[in-house]
Amino acid sequence: MRRVFAVLALAGVAAVAHADDGAQWREIGNTPGAQRYSPLTQIDKGNVARLRPKWTYHHGDFSKGDATHGATAFEATPLMIDGTLYFCTPYNRIVALDAETGGERWTHDPKVWLKGVYAPVCRGVAYWVDAQADAKAACAQRIFETTLDARLIAVDAKTGRPCSAFGRNGAVNLLAGLGTVREAEYYPTSAPLPIDDLIVTGAFVKDGQRTDAPGGGLRAWDARTGALRWVWDSVPPDLHAVTADEIAKGATLTPGTPNVWALMSADPERHLIFAPTGSAAPDHYGGSERRDLDHYGESVVALDSRSGKPVWHFQTVHHDLWDYDVAAQPVAYSTQVGQPALIAATKLGFVFLLDRETGKPLFPVEERAVPASTLPGERASPTQPFPTRPAPLHPLSLKRDELFGLTFWDKGKCQAAFDALDYRGAFTPPSLKGTLEYPGLGGGINWGSVSVDPVKRRMVVNLQRAPFVLRVIARADYQGATGGSDLVGVNPQAGTPYVVVREPFLSPLKTPCVPPPWGELVAIDLDSGDIAWRRELGTLNRMAPFGDRFRTGTPNSGGSMQTAGGLVFIAATMDQYLRAFDADDGRELWRYELPYAGHAVPISYRTRASGPQYVVIAAGGHGALGDAVGDAVVAFTLDGK
């Protein structure tokens, strides 16, 4: 064993020995390709019913919202490395816990400025080892986090102290090189990506604000020093892309370009980064004011990690008008014959299976005619790409008599609202009449992405049916405030002729006007593209009398994890349950009611070869979804031992 580690050290691999490396959780998705899969088998179909909490940790860093910022959402996926759990709170405090006991080892509070932040959230941190440093030196192992006030910070993984040699006193200002940025208009919510001794950052850019919104390009920073190494300015290939050298001389990223707010993944062997992109600005109007910046919008873009140059890109929506940004982290796998492949899942409920090296689809993708725009000045794409295998997972049409209500009265209200809207199926463009958007702008499939069993080549994905209404109003006719918002409310779209108002399509009793299930869990055979099984996900527990008996599914936010024990673990729903399903047939085998809804991704690990297998999830609700908000991290083992 000593010889093995000596060889690894000489090869330039991390100089830290990991006693049980296959049982750790070192990345947000466990692997650079983000499969969300654990090879552990101690917990299996036969004993999962014995899972009990072993410990619960409360970080205390949450809020129901106030006059300056919204209610929190706890969506973090912890990392587990060498017996320590690392995660971030909604206010960007980094917490390190003993992974066996839940005891606090250290915390780091970057004291973020939160004014105007819509929903404080942090989905995770990144871990990096300096292979050139003495393993015992300070900051030889680092935790990186991007903050809600747009900083990239580095702290020592052992102590939580800032790495003073990184940037300025352990931080890099991510607002530099963006030009004028308004309050809470640009901030990261997802973990940065470590690759090739670089830390790559993207960010959320507030929806629908203005045509000259901050540029959405990616930047790569030296993991040791914080120096800017490269920039991907996400402009079309025929336009000049700003470089890192130009940024250093005072240039800014091109305004209004597609951004990358969701989690990125990577193929380190091929030096590839897979970036899921959003829309060019603004989201719901793409006339001449958008300046033809759509080329890389709503795409998975493969970049060379050493230079930031695009290698290929696959566009999932042309000339997006619906806020159908690619929210799901791309997930790598290998086909039955060993071909490197990649999964691109979208808000439409589409799943595109691609060649990881070229971006070419593994199954046919059809360009189909879609409705034309009726909005003066707009030019919607006449066709959109539809996957053939897997077939679309979300309904793409809706009839009046299919509308849902708990009573005849509220169903009638839904039908009256439907009659007043423009709806011609999927991809009906925004209009002055008001448009029903189904799938809605929250998905479908969102940031929780998919999990993959690499042995059985099985994908599992959760999705929701949550329709929205888009109301376009001529700016000259709009009398309300234009302060802007994110998920709902007014999008001012400054620089265009129109204001847009967004709202969920709900009955007066606050249920979706579309038929259940409102949440689903689906398994797909990646070899054939066929659906292996599907079932509802969620009940009306805590939302209606005897709600646990109503298996309607619920809108959901979060993701799944698969294990070699033949299980799928997922929370994500509004009913506060963490569940385990039989991965082969979708039968529910176990559930546990969490202190708060678990809008996160569960992980599994063991800290030593003879120790128990853990399942851990962040459970803190989501204020914007209407959940109770909280601060729990819950760890489960067999019999709680």
Active-site residues, by number, are 323
**Residue 332: φ, ψ to 5°:** -90, 150
DSSP per-residue codes, 174-241: TTTTS----TTSEE--S--EEETTEEEE--EE-TTSBTTPPP--EEEEETTT--EEEEE----TTSPP
Tell me how crowded residue 168 is: count the other CB atoms within 10 A of its CB.
Answer: 10
Of the candidates 404, 433, 434, 422, the one whose C-alpha atom is nearest the C-alpha of residue 507 is: 404
523-549 in b/e form (b: 16+ CB < 10 A) is bbebeebeebbbbbbbbbbebeeeeee
d(CA 380, CA 400): 25
Tell me how crowded residue 474 is: count the other CB atoms within 10 A of its CB.
Answer: 12
Is residue 368 a contact partner of residue 422, using CB atoms and an 8 Å limit? Answer: no
Tell me how crowded residue 314 is: count the other CB atoms within 10 A of its CB.
Answer: 22
d(CA 194, CA 221): 9
Is residue 509 a contact partner of residue 406, using CB atoms and an 8 Å limit? Answer: yes
Tell me how crowded residue 66 is: count the other CB atoms within 10 A of its CB.
Answer: 9
